[in-house]
Amino acid sequence: MPKPKKVVKRSVSKATSRPGSATKRGGGRTGSGGAITISSVSPRGNVGNPVPTVRAKVEAEGANLSKHDIRLYLDGAEQRRFYYGRATGNLSYHPGMLSSCSHTVEIVATSGQGSSTSKKSWTFSVS
């Protein structure tokens, strides 16, 4: 006589999110997220090179920003292929060949769980 098959019951627990219990994402954010500064932006003014490098320094006081905390826009379009050095705060982006006209760069950085956000925009012209 064959043995009866064993029935295994499984229970699935539903994950809930509690205030203050954040999952580390994007390289691990630490700290509560202090003031963010975006400085040393370039290029500015008239640029003779149609292939400029966009540069900025993006730092957060009391937080460790990652590339996932930063959004870079060129002429309104989000650009994802930029470099961000967490240790130095240096950001650089090589847009390729740009047309001879005015261009707008915007950087938006958010630290922690959205506790601090900073935005900086500037223009430059390729001649």
In a domain, 13, yes or no: no
**Domain extent at residue 61:** 36-126
**Beta bridge partner(s), residue 72:** 79, 107
pLDDT per residue rounded down to tens, the chain (127 residues): 666 565 555 444 343 333 333 333 334 444 445 799 999 999 999 999 999 999 999 999 888 899 999 999 999 999 999 999 999 999 999 999 999 999 999 999 998 777 889 999 999 999 9
Q: How far apart are alpha carbons 99 and 109 in whole angstroms?
A: 27
In a domain, 8, yes or no: no
Q: How far apart are alpha carbons 76 and 90 in whole angstroms?
A: 22
Write down the pLDDT at residue 105. Answer: 98
Using left for φ > 0, alpha for ψ between -120 and 50, and beta otherwise, residue 43 falls in: beta
Provide the CATH number for the domain around residue 105: 2.60.40.10
* Total domains in the fold of the chain: 1
**Beta bridge partner(s), residue 120:** 107
In a domain, 71, yes or no: yes
Q: Is this prediction's pTM over 0.85?
A: no
Write down the pLDDT at residue 95. Answer: 96
In a domain, 25, yes or no: no
**Beta bridge partner(s), residue 92:** 55, 83
Q: How far apart are alpha carbons 22 and 10 in whole angstroms?
A: 27
Distance (Å) of CA 34 to CA 14, 20, 45, 86, 111: 33, 16, 31, 16, 7
Picking from 118, 110, 108, the residue whose alpha carbon sits closest to that of residue 73 is 108
